[in-house]
Amino acid sequence: MDLNNPVLETERLYVCRMDEADQEWFYRLNSDPEVMRYTGEDCMTSLEQSLQVLRERPMRDYQKYGYGRWACVMKGSNDVIGWCGLKYLDDLEEVDVGYRFFKEFWGQGLGTEASRACVQYGLNELGLEKIIGLALEENIASTRVLEKSGLSYDGRMDYEGFDVVRYVIQSQ
């Protein structure tokens, strides 16, 4: 990522586009079973897979839509804490906010800080009319982050074979 050219900043974070140089930490994050527990995805098993996913998901999304999941980096230390951001879901034709951080950064309000900023950026800067959030109901941290980002509960749905809760925010 290029810290000199962030997509947005929060009080404690730079939020930047990912690139191929993010392969190593992206692999470490996505191969931790505790991090992946409620994501519905399998743990990554190789650095090659990490590079492939970076190319096919966030990097492709930036090109196609102008936004995607972004790296979150602590100001001051420049520690990468994980990713947060917006993703256009082709199957639902809706934009979803999501986040995934290394465990050592959980519980400090960073998920809320990053998610709020991404939602506001989507509504105010990108002009999106609606942003949704999907989570397994038992993922309390994630559903709290959605609520604290201004999204409201909008029922349950089946997504990719999982029974998930759906949250939504509409532009004014």
Q: Could you say which of 28, 31, 38, 120 contacts ligand COA (CB under 6 A)?
A: 38
**In angstroms, rounded to a whole number, what is the distance separating the alpha carbons of residues 77 and 99?**
20
DSSP assignment of 140-161, as one string? Answer: HHHHHHHHHTT-EEEEEEEETT
What single DSSP character describes residue 109?
A: S
Residue 2 or 153 with smaller CB distance to ligand COA:
153
The answer to whether the CB of 3 falls within 8 A of the CB of 73 is yes
Residue 2 or 108 with smaller CB distance to ligand COA:
108
Q: CB-based burial of residue 72 (10 Å sphere; 0-12 exposed, 13-18 middle, 19+ buried)?
A: buried
Measured on CA atoms in the order 74, 25, 69, 110, is the torsion positive or negative? Answer: negative
CB of 118 to ligand COA, least distance (A): 12
Residue 111 or 122 with smaller CB distance to ligand COA:
111
Q: Is 101 in the site for ligand COA (CB under 6 A)?
A: yes
Of 10-18, 31-39, 50-58, 72-80, which part binds ligand COA (CB under 6 A)?
Answer: 31-39
Q: Could you say which of 80, 111, 149, 167 contacts ligand COA (CB under 6 A)?
A: 111
Of 35-43, 55-63, 69-77, 150-158, which part binds ligand COA (CB under 6 A)?
Answer: 35-43
Which value, in Å, is the radius of gyration of the alpha carbons in the chain?
A: 15
Q: Is 39 in the site for ligand COA (CB under 6 A)?
A: yes
Interface positions with ligand COA (CB under 6 A): 35, 38-39, 99-101, 106-112, 135, 139-142, 144-145
